[in-house]
Amino acid sequence: MVKKYKNQKTMIKRRTFLKNATVLASTALLPSCNFSTSEKSKRLRIANIGVGGMGAEDLDSISSHKMVDIVGLCDVDSDALKKASMLFPNAKTYSDYRVLLEEMRDKIDAVIVSTPDHTHAPASLMAMNLNKAVYCQKPLTHHVSEAREMQLVAKEKNLVTQMGIQVHSFYDYKLATL
């Protein structure tokens, strides 16, 4: 898992780093009350929008937490959706995130958005407008106006939100120069 290159520090494989970073970042969605021993029955119900590629990694990471139930899965790729639904047979499946959010609005607590970039902001904003915590992959938005709207909704509704930055928080990026 760890490689050492001549004249370089120890390097971790990218996939291992991404998985660990996603697990740490996605725990921001877990309200502190979920860790309380007096509320053992309180579980976090998650809907994953985008379950192929990075979405599959996010799904694997968040589902590893003992207080999380995956209740909704959404992807336009029927093969990716089928594969994910085999791992989570009790989760409802959808090919349209708008239908998922509308139908499951009272059955989910948080949403993970791991779709292609152009749907990050619309899917996240719809979930946030339904008072759902959101973890969204990067880039968060395509336009500054979308980012400002997301910030406003999160602040108004007092929502927990997180953007996946994985490798970009790595030490080497801090040393980059133009």
DSSP 70-106: EEEEE-S-HHHHHHHHHH-TTSEEES-HHHHHHHHTT
Q: Looking at the predicted structure, is the pLDDT value of residue 107 above 90?
A: yes
* Higher local confidence (pLDDT), 9 or 117: 117
pLDDT value, residue 48: 94
Domains and CATH numbers, the chain: 41-174 (3.40.50.720)
Using an 8 Å Cβ cutoff, are 80 and 51 in contact?
A: yes
pTM for the full predicted model: 0.69
**What gap in Å lies between CA 43 and CA 50, rounded to an integer?**
22
pLDDT one-digit tens code per residue, 150-174: 778 778 988 777 676 665 555 666 6
* Higher local confidence (pLDDT), 99 or 22: 99
Residue 160 Cα to chain centre, angstroms: 12
Residues ≥6 apart with Cβ < 8 Å to 79: 52
Share of the chain above pLDDT 90, in %: 34
Residue type for 23, please?
Answer: V
Using an 8 Å Cβ cutoff, are 123 and 135 in contact?
A: no
pLDDT one-digit tens code per residue, 108-156: 999 999 887 678 788 999 998 999 988 887 665 666 777 777 778 778 9
Using an 8 Å Cβ cutoff, are 123 and 103 in contact?
A: no
- Cα–Cα distances (Å) from 151 to 125, 128, 165, in that order, read 10, 10, 17
pLDDT value, residue 135: 83
Question: pLDDT-derived band of residue 78, with 50, 70 and 90 as boundaries?
Answer: very high
**What gap in Å lies between CA 5 and CA 111, rounded to an integer?**
39
